[in-house]
Structure 1
């Protein structure tokens, strides 16, 4: 069966001249028009290095809380080491030094009132143990 008409195959039919006449080919727009149309401006930069450093200094509250939580956990671990050292009779100076470092680290504020309350109680306990260790 052969199909004739607009839906049928067009073997060897030349393309319409109307389509060819309308498009003369690829051409670039005039370079003078594009440069005048867009005005170029310098990229915006930060005025000085202090602003960049200030941006880097901004910390996430979640990160601050995580660091405070880690400091509290470290202080509790050192208190456990101190307890074990006292029970075994092998209290050494490195444990006391680690306890002093932990006490100094606990002084920073996390921003979370509940966590700060727990950290202040841990700090109080560390200070008491440091005072006791000073008697030996």
Structure 2
């Protein structure tokens, strides 16, 4: 990795302490001369990092709504799997665990009042099914 710039090092650049063999030609640096040392520069701030982190934390309302719709659809899919399992007589404990996960994911709001109302209805249905599954 090469670093160029005022604080970087450039290999092969003359240091100013070169012995000249003539008016023009090949020259070697003096073997006993000490290389030029530069003072350590303080690191420059990379902007306001707090502002960058705050911008990353801001969530787009459209993205939040999409995620809420996906969580609602996932919960409905688990409810369908539960229904099919109960009707076929193959009640599976993993479906109950998936219902618990779906119920936990439905707790957050989307910011859209209509969607939040639908998600709360789905959450209520999931909670009812979890309560019924606890009676078995």
Name the TM tier (shorter chain).
Answer: 0.5 to 0.7
- The two structures have a TM-score, normalised by structure 1, of 0.65
Aligned to 2:4: none
User: 1:107 deviation in Å?
Assistant: 0.4
Runs of at least 5 residues in structure 1 that lack an aligned partner in the other structure: 1-42
User: 1:53 deviation in Å?
Assistant: 1.6
- The two structures have a TM-score, normalised by structure 2, of 0.65
1:80 partnered with 2:70 = no
Q: Aligned equivalents of 2:65 and 2:113: distance in 1?
A: 11
Matches within 5 A, 1:1-136: 45-48=46-49, 50-136=50-136
Counterpart of 1:51 in 2: which secondary structure? helix
User: 1:44 deviation in Å?
Assistant: 8.6
Off by >6 Å, runs of 4+ in structure 1: none
Q: Aligned equivalents of 1:55 and 1:47: distance in 2?
A: 11
Counterpart of 2:73 in 1: which secondary structure? helix
Runs of at least 5 residues in structure 2 that lack an aligned partner in the other structure: 1-43
Aligned residues: 93
Q: Aligned equivalents of 1:46 and 1:87: distance in 2?
A: 61
Q: Aligned equivalents of 2:120 and 2:76: distance in 1?
A: 12
